[in-house]
């Protein structure tokens, strides 16, 4: 089977600093692929390369076997690459439905938008699609409320619904669980597990290792812009190079270097609370308490 997305030898440098280094990543059709790594590993930069914010200095990015390196950002959305962002980008004076609907501007022409604005009652097809995305993400009860003041977990789901109405065949989720409390996180996990179309390919950047393990059939770990491990979540999370990247080199790892056998790859590391990003994004507390 051909990969949905193939990053082949991709390299990107800012000035003299190489932040992505000869990186190979494959996302198979219909897979849930996790991208993990410590802060600064290059995960968001990979998303920016795939979505067209940056162009690689070397290597190529193939979508369905076609090189997309020269394809501009807006056309990549129309080719089926949708994404969310680490920080919420909510229009707080708009309702939940209107916020979701904004994603549709990517496949509705300017003239069409001028004749029938997205939020016009005459935009029936758009409204139906938006309501479907809202329902998928468990947002129907909030549909006509202003996004401002809704709990942070709800706003995160609005962000994903907005990406869904861009009609992605490859969905990039940038830290979907970051900043969520445990019940919001569990609710999101259950929605992503059960509601996303099976044929949709999903690439997820996430620090919450347990979240990634529950969701992803394949995980790629990065450090300093290089791939350091890849495979099933349990194997990757227990890989010595991954543990070292997150926690630094400890005595056991030093022993491993000195010839002491490394832990078996199928031993799962239990993520420690302190290893996970548990802080909410700026403004998140306000949203939560307004619930
Ligand atoms: N526009 C830029 N100019 C210069 N350096 C950049 C730029 N964008 C990212 N970097 C650098 O590239 C490296 C990777 O950053 P990136 O944001 O991709 O990491 P990350 O793995 O997503 O980290 P986090 O988990 O903290 O979000 C970092 O050293 C960062 O400082």
Give the list of residues 6+ apart from residue 23 with CB closer than 8 angstroms, or none.
7, 9, 10, 11, 42, 46, 59, 222, 225, 226, 227
Cα-Cα-Cα-Cα torsion 180, 185, 189, 191, nearest 10 degrees, comes to -80
Determine the distance separating the centroid of ligand 1 and the alpha carbon of 49, expressed in angstroms: 12
Q: Which pLDDT does position 23 carry in this prediction? A: 98
Q: Report whether 137 contacts 104 (CB < 8 A).
A: no
106 located within any domain: no
143 located within any domain: no
Query: In a mutational test of the pocket of ligand 1, which residue from 19, 54, 177 has the highest number of ligand atoms less than 8 Å from its CB?
Result: 19
Q: Which pLDDT does position 235 carry in this prediction? A: 93
Determine the distance separating the centroid of ligand 1 and the alpha carbon of 14, expressed in angstroms: 10
Q: Which pLDDT does position 126 carry in this prediction? A: 73
Determine the distance separating the centroid of ligand 1 and the alpha carbon of 277, expressed in angstroms: 16
Report d(CA 37, CA 222) in Å as an integer: 5
96 located within any domain: no
Q: Which pLDDT does position 119 carry in this prediction? A: 64
Per-residue pLDDT of the chain (291 residues; tens, 9 = 90+): 899 999 999 999 999 899 999 999 999 999 999 999 999 999 999 999 999 999 999 999 999 999 999 999 999 999 999 999 988 888 888 899 999 988 887 766 655 555 555 566 656 667 889 999 999 999 999 999 999 889 999 999 999 999 999 999 999 999 999 999 999 999 999 999 999 999 999 999 999 999 999 999 999 999 999 999 999 999 998 899 999 998 776 555 444 444 433 333 333 333 333 343 333 443 333 333 322
Helix H or strand E segment including 126: helix 124-136
Ligand 1 binding site (Cβ under 6 Å of any ligand atom): 14, 19, 37, 39-45
Q: Which atom from ligand 1 is nearest to the alpha carbon of 48?
A: 18
Helix H or strand E segment including 6: strand 5-14
Q: Could you tell me the maximum CA-CA distance found in the chain, to the nearest angstrom?
A: 71
Q: Which atom from ligand 1 is nearest to the alpha carbon of 47?
A: 18
Q: Which pLDDT does position 105 carry in this prediction? A: 72
- CA-proximal residue: ligand 1, atom 9 (nearest): 45
Instruction: Residue 257: give its domain's CATH number.
Output: 3.40.50.300
123 located within any domain: no
159 located within any domain: no
For the chain, helix (H) and strand (E) counts, in that order, are: 12, 10
Q: Which pLDDT does position 247 carry in this prediction? A: 77
Q: Which pLDDT does position 122 carry in this prediction? A: 57
Determine the distance separating the centroid of ligand 1 and the alpha carbon of 142, expressed in angstroms: 34
136 located within any domain: no
Q: Which pLDDT does position 1 carry in this prediction? A: 87
Determine the distance separating the centroid of ligand 1 and the alpha carbon of 42, expressed in angstroms: 5
Determine the distance separating the centroid of ligand 1 and the alpha carbon of 40, expressed in angstroms: 5
- What is the number of structural domains in the chain? 1
Q: Which atom from ligand 1 is nearest to the alpha carbon of 222?
A: 21
> DSSP class of residue 243?
H
Q: Which pLDDT does position 114 carry in this prediction? A: 52
Q: Which pLDDT does position 285 carry in this prediction? A: 36
Q: Which pLDDT does position 90 carry in this prediction? A: 85
Q: Which pLDDT does position 76 carry in this prediction? A: 95
Report d(CA 213, CA 191) in Å as an integer: 15
Range of the domain at 284: 5-89+168-289
Q: Which pLDDT does position 95 carry in this prediction? A: 92
> DSSP class of residue 222?
E
Q: Which atom from ligand 1 is nearest to the alpha carbon of 54?
A: 1
Determine the distance separating the centroid of ligand 1 and the alpha carbon of 106, expressed in angstroms: 26
Q: Report whether 164 contacts 192 (CB < 8 A).
A: no
Q: Which pLDDT does position 86 carry in this prediction? A: 85
Determine the distance separating the centroid of ligand 1 and the alpha carbon of 4, expressed in angstroms: 25
Q: Which pLDDT does position 251 carry in this prediction? A: 52
- CA-proximal residue: ligand 1, atom 2 (nearest): 14
- CA-proximal residue: ligand 1, atom 12 (nearest): 19
120 located within any domain: no
Q: What ipTM, to 2 d.p.?
A: 0.96
161 located within any domain: no
């Amino acid at each position: 089977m051909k990969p949905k997305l193939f990053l082949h030898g991709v390299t990107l440098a800012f000035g003299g600093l190489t932040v992505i280094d000869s990186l190979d990543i494959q996302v198979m059709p219909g897979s849930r692929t996790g991208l993990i790594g410590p802060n600064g590993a290059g995960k968001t930069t990979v998303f920016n390369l795939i979505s067209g914010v940056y162009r690689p200095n070397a290597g190529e990015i193939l979508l369905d076997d076609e090189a997309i390196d020269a394809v501009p950002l807006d056309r990549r959305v129309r080719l089926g690459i949708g994404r969310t962002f680490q920080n919420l980008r909510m229009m707080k004076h708009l309702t939940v439905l209107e916020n979701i609907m904004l994603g549709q501007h990517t496949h509705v022409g300017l003239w069409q938008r001028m004749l029938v604005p997205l939020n016009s009652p005459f935009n029936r097809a758009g409204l139906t699609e938006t309501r479907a995305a809202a329902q998928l993400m468990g947002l129907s009860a909030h549909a006509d409320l202003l996004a401002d003041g809704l709990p942070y977990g709800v706003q995160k789901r609005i962000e994903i619904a907005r990406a869904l109405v861009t009609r992605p065949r490859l969905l990039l989720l940038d830290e979907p669980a970051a900043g969520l409390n445990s019940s919001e996180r569990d609710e999101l996990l259950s929605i992503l597990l059960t509601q996303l179309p099976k044929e949709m390919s999903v690439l997820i950047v996430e620090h919450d290792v347990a979240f990634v393990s529950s969701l992803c059939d394949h995980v790629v770990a990065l450090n300093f812009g290089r791939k350091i491990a890849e495979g099933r979540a349990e194997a990757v999370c227990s890989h010595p190079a991954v543990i070292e990247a997150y926690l630094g080199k400890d005595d056991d790892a030093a022993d491993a270097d000195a010839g002491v056998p490394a832990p078996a790859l199928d031993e799962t590391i239990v993520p420690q609370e302190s290893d996970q990003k548990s802080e909410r994004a700026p403004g998140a507390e306000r949203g939560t308490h307004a619930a």
